[in-house]
Amino acid sequence: MLIDAKSFGEKVRALRMQQGLTLADLAEKTKRSVSLLSQIETGNVSPSFSSMQTIADALDVPLAQIISQEPAAEGGEIYHISESGRKVLITQGGVQHQLLSRGLPLSFEFNILEVPPGTSTGDYLYSHEGEECGLLLEGELVVEVGRQVNHLKPGDSITMKSSLPHKLSNPGKEVARAVWVNSVPYIFSTK
């Protein structure tokens, strides 16, 4: 299930209007241009992950609320999700977040992260609630946490407080693929 720029933009517009904000108001809160926000709302631009988070923060809603596309599953204790059944969020530059955990109201989020060569989660550092851990499976990944730069190679892992401003980028020549866990559901609703 692919979460596209158009549905993200439609939800942003609905939330903005529901809160009585103009595009100029949202631009001021996010430090993004009115033109960029308009293009995001119409689905003409796929925003970076950091821009998505900044917009969610400005609208005072969890990013998962904007991205969620389905009602919570009811009943059941075991959920098997095929690769084709995963929720997938693709942001600017083709950075892909694939949800590996669904069905149960989990207190964490379990993802596969794919970062194409030369791309990142955005131009800006971002932060959110909780802690996170990542294990790099393939490629090369740079994790900036504040002023600290961490170069990960396959087999390396990182653990950090998500409240510290951070961003991920791939300086390598192949796709960086990692397993990532957020202690508080952040990108997707895990239900």
For residues 145 and 30, give the distance between their C-alpha atoms in angstroms, rounded to a whole number. 21
What are the boundaries of each domain within the chain?
Answer: 2-67, 83-182
Report the DSSP beta bridge partners of residue 14: none
pLDDT band for 71, please (50, 70, 90 cuts).
Answer: very low
pTM greater than 0.75 (yes/no): no
Q: Could you report the per-residue pLDDT of 152-190, keeping only the tens digit for each?
A: 999 999 999 999 999 999 999 999 999 999 998 877 765
Selecting from 3.40.50.720, 2.60.120.10, 3.40.50.1820, 3.40.50.2300, what CATH number does the domain 83-182 have?
A: 2.60.120.10
Considering the domain delimited by 2-67, tell me its CATH architecture.
Orthogonal Bundle (1.10)
| Residues 1-18: tens digit of each pLDDT | 566 677 888 889 988 988
What lies within 8 Å, CB to CB, of 39 at 6+ separation is: 45
